[in-house]
Amino acid sequence: MLNNTLGDSFFTSHDELNIAENAWKNYFNSFESEVIATAIIAFLMHEIVYFGRCIPFMIADFIPSFAKYKLQPNKVNTVEEQWVCLKSVLKAHFLIELPLIFSFHSVATFFGMDIAKVPFPHWQTMCYQVAIFFVFEDTFHYWFHRLLHYGPFYKYIHKQHHEYSAPFGLAAEYAHPIEVLILGTGTIGGPLAYVAITQNLHLVTVFIWISLRLFQTIDAHSGYDFPWSLRHFLPFWAGAEHHDYHHMAFVNCFSTSFRWWDHLMGTDLKYQAYRKKKDEELKVASTSDSKKIN
C-alpha cells in the first residue's frame, strides 16, 4: 500500500520507503565506510543543532522588548568573554567530542545497534524511548553534578563551567574536558544501555534525543525565562529559571531537565527561598505601581 502523504509515512514501517528513509539509505550507501558516514552525519547534526539553537538567544540580546525576560539583567557578558567561550567550545567539539563521535559506531554496533537500517521506527516507539533517555540522563546528571561540586572535583574540573555566573546559551558546553566526558556519559549512556538490553534502537532516535537534549541545555543556560518557556506549562520541568539560579548562587538545582531530584533530596531549599523572596518583591512592586496609577 502506498502512503498518501509524507506526514503519514514519515515514521512508518511500510515496504515503501518515504523520502527521509530513502535519503538515509542513499547517504549510507554512498560511503564505503559506515564508520565515517556515521561520524560525519553525527558531528554535522551536533554542530548545526548546537549553534542553530544558540543563534536565536544571541539575537534576543539585541531586541529591547526581550530585556524584561532576562534572569540576571544587571550582569552582561562582554564580547571578549563570549569569544573566549566560543573558542573553548569549538576546541572541545573538535578535539574531544569529534574523536568520541568517531568511536560511537563501533560501540553502538557492539551493543547491537543497526546503524543504517530502514525503515525508521514508528514515532510512538521513538517517543517513549526518548522519554526514557531524558529520565536516565537527568538522574545521572543530578548525582554526578553534585559530585563535581565536591572539593577538588569542583576546584580542578567543574569550576571552569561556573566562570559565567550569568550564563548564556553558548556556555552550555563550556566545560573542562573531564567534565565533558563525565556528564556526556549521561547523554549517550542511556541509549547504549537501552540498545544493549532491548536490541531495539535506531540511530535516528538517538539523533532526535541528542537534538532535544541540546535544545534543553542551551535553553537552560540561555539566561532568559520567557512566558512561553516550557516550565510554565510543565511544573516539573527545570528550565532556565531553575538552572540560572545554580550559576548565580553556585549551589542547589543540580538537575538538568526535571525538578524532582532536587525536590526529593532537598537541594532546592535555598532556591525556593530565593524564589519566594523574588515573588514577594514583584508583588510589592506591582501593588506600588497600581497605587501610582490610581
Render pLDDT for 83-123 as a digit per residue (tens, 0 to 9): 999 999 999 999 999 999 999 999 999 999 999 999 999 99
pLDDT bucket at 294, cuts 50 / 70 / 90: low
pLDDT bucket at 289, cuts 50 / 70 / 90: low
pLDDT score recorded for residue 3? 39
pLDDT score recorded for residue 284? 83
Give the range of the structural domain holding residue 39, as residue numbers without chain letter.
31-293
Count of domains in the chain? 1
pLDDT over 50 (residue 252)? yes
Q: Identify whether 13 is part of a domain.
A: no
Q: Identify whether 235 is part of a domain.
A: yes
pLDDT score recorded for residue 33? 97
pLDDT bucket at 204, cuts 50 / 70 / 90: very high
The share of the chain scoring above pLDDT 70, in percent, equals 92
Q: Identify whether 245 is part of a domain.
A: yes
pLDDT bucket at 47, cuts 50 / 70 / 90: very high
pLDDT score recorded for residue 282? 83
Q: Identify whether 66 is part of a domain.
A: yes
pLDDT over 60 (residue 193)? yes
The share of the chain scoring above pLDDT 90, in percent, equals 89
Q: Identify whether 187 is part of a domain.
A: yes
To the nearest whole number, what is the mean pLDDT of the chain? 93
pLDDT over 50 (residue 63)? yes
Q: Which of 149, 131, 181 is nearest to 267 (CA)?
A: 149
Q: Identify whether 75 is part of a domain.
A: yes
Q: Identify whether 275 is part of a domain.
A: yes
pLDDT score recorded for residue 229? 98
pLDDT score recorded for residue 283? 84
Averaged over 183-194, what is the pLDDT? 98
Q: Identify whether 5 is part of a domain.
A: no
pLDDT bucket at 16, cuts 50 / 70 / 90: confident
